[in-house]
């Protein structure tokens, strides 16, 4: 398992986390078994926005004696009063729900507290003014919440929240369908979405990815907006290659699902290669490097994807990216202009031209 460090924190988080949205239907016993299996296989991050109440007591039992090995992502706005998920922005309901979640999980602290599912500016305004955000800030001051995050599908709403400087993490829906303007949550243009990922990386806000398979639509040719199925591994790799991304949180229902997802860790590169997207790329995304490294190997030893990522981040104001670039062993100025990457790139990036541009930008 690969781990990525939370930029504003010391937590090393497994690149595969676990979503609990549809797990409850399998019953508490299976939820507990799933949790134990996930821990045995190096997963340490668990999103608790579930459709049902079942995972909470089940996870509470599964982590007894090893709470310090686990990170829980708790949503302020998910309510389980009826045994099923409900959404709320009311402070009294949120307080009651969070108390219940903590009791069920047998814990007295929250690793990652999320303002839950805010897609409209009006709802953001509400949680900022009705005491929910103040309540979370208070809990953070008291050490009950370690980090504050937010989940949303709407870039413009996230931008407003980023402006406050309060976020350590963002839970956001990233997949090729939404990024290429297909689907219910395909909010924002290709550029706007990429700019959001870059801003998060530049401001050291870790992105935790939800809906990596577009609620399963991308896995089936009949429901895929591209009329062609992608695999889970392609979608996971696609999300992990985006700037700012720390972990991907696929939802699993059973241990069988988990076993299949865990196969990603040792899967060969060709099973994760998503260059097939080239055929679906809309015109506005043509010629834009997505850092996939499908064009490797470069005969001059350049990490083409990483160089491009640092360049885009540096242009977006990320000062750390400038340092990262300067520390690279091979830089854009080492490009010998052989054109191998141009001919291999499925997204028709003029990479030889871009390497000249990058070398000029950094002066090296």
Distance (Å, whole) CA 18 – CA 2:
14
Specify whether the CB–CB gap between 73 and 111 falls below 8 A: yes
In the region spanning residues 326 to 355, those forming contacts with ligand SF4, defined by CB under 6 A, are 335-341, 345, 347, 349, 351-352, 355
In the region spanning residues 213 to 242, those forming contacts with ligand SF4, defined by CB under 6 A, are none
Nearest Cα residue to 166 out of 204, 202, 192? 204
Among 305, 311, 321, 358, binds ligand SF4 (CB under 6 A): 305
Q: Binding marks (x or -) toward ligand SF4, 276..295, rule CB under 6 A?
A: -------------xxxxxxx
Distance (Å, whole) CA 55 – CA 80:
11
Q: How far is the CB of 271 from ligand SF4 (least distance, A)?
A: 17
Q: Which residues 6+ apart lie within 8 Å of 165 measured at CB?
A: none
Nearer to ligand SF4 (CB atom), residue 35 or residue 335: 335
Q: How far is the CB of 194 from ligand SF4 (least distance, A)?
A: 12
Distance (Å, whole) CA 8 – CA 66:
24
- Supply the DSSP symbol for 241: T
Nearer to ligand SF4 (CB atom), residue 38 or residue 332: 332
Q: Does 16 bind ligand SF4 (CB under 6 A)?
A: no
Q: How far is the CB of 263 from ligand SF4 (least distance, A)?
A: 24
In the region spanning residues 39 to 68, those forming contacts with ligand SF4, defined by CB under 6 A, are none
Q: What are the two backbone dihedrals, phi and then psi, of residue 74, each rounded to the nearest 5 degrees?
A: -105, 135
**Count of residues of this chain found to bind ligand SF4 when the rule CB under 6 A is applied:** 27
Nearer to ligand SF4 (CB atom), residue 178 or residue 311: 311
Q: What is the DSSP string of 292-351?
A: --TTPPPTT---HHHHHHHHHHHHTT-HHHHHHHHT-SS-GGG-----HHHHH-TT---H
Q: How far is the CB of 192 from ligand SF4 (least distance, A)?
A: 19
> Near ligand SF4 by CB under 6 A, which window of 51-59, 145-153, 217-225, 297-305?
297-305
Nearest Cα residue to 22 out of 207, 213, 169? 213
List residues near ligand SF4 by CB under 6 A. 289-295, 298-300, 302, 304-305, 308, 335-341, 345, 347, 349, 351-352, 355
């Amino acid at each position: 398992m690969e781990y990525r460090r939370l930029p504003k924190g010391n937590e090393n988080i497994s690149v595969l986390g676990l979503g609990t949205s549809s797990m409850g239907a399998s019953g508490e016993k299976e939820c507990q078994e799933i949790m134990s299996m996930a821990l045995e296989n190096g997963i340490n991050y668990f999103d608790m926005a579930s459709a049902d109440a079942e995972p909470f007591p089940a996870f509470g039992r599964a982590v007894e004696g090893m709470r310090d090995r686990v990170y829980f992502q708790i949503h302020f706005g998910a309510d389980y009063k009826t045994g099923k998920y409900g959404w709320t922005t009311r402070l009294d309901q949120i307080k009651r729900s969070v108390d219940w979640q903590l009791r069920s999980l047998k814990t007295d602290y929250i690793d990652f507290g999320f303002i839950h599912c805010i897609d409209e500016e009006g709802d953001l305004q509400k949680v900022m003014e009705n005491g929910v955000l103040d309540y979370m800030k208070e809990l953070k001051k008291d050490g009950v919440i370690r980090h504050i995050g937010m989940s949303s599908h709407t870039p413009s709403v996230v931008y407003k929240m980023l402006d406050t400087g309060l976020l350590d993490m963002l839970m956001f829906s990233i997949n090729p369908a939404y990024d290429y303007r297909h689907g219910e949550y395909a909010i924002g243009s290709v550029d706007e979405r990429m700019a959001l990922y870059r801003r998060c990386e530049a401001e050291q806000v870790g992105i935790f990815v939800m809906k990596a398979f577009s609620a399963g639509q991308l896995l089936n040719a009949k429901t895929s907006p591209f009329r062609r199925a992608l695999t889970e591994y392609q979608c996971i790799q696609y999300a992990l290659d985006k700037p700012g991304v720390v972990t991907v949180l696929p939802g699993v229902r059973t241990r069988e699902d988990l076993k299949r997802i865990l196969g990603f860790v040792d899967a060969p590169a060709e099973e994760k290669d998503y260059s097939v997207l080239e055929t679906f790329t809309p015109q506005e995304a043509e010629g834009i490097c997505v850092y996939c490294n499908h064009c490797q190997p470069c005969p001059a030893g350049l990490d083409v994807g990483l160089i491009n990522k640092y360049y885009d981040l540096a242009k977006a104001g990320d000062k750390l990216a400038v340092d990262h670039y300067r520390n690279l062993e091979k830089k854009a100025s080492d490009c010998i202009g052989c054109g191998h990457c141009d001919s291999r790139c499925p997204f028709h990036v003029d990479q030889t031209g871009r390497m000249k541009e990058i070398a000029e930008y950094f002066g090296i």
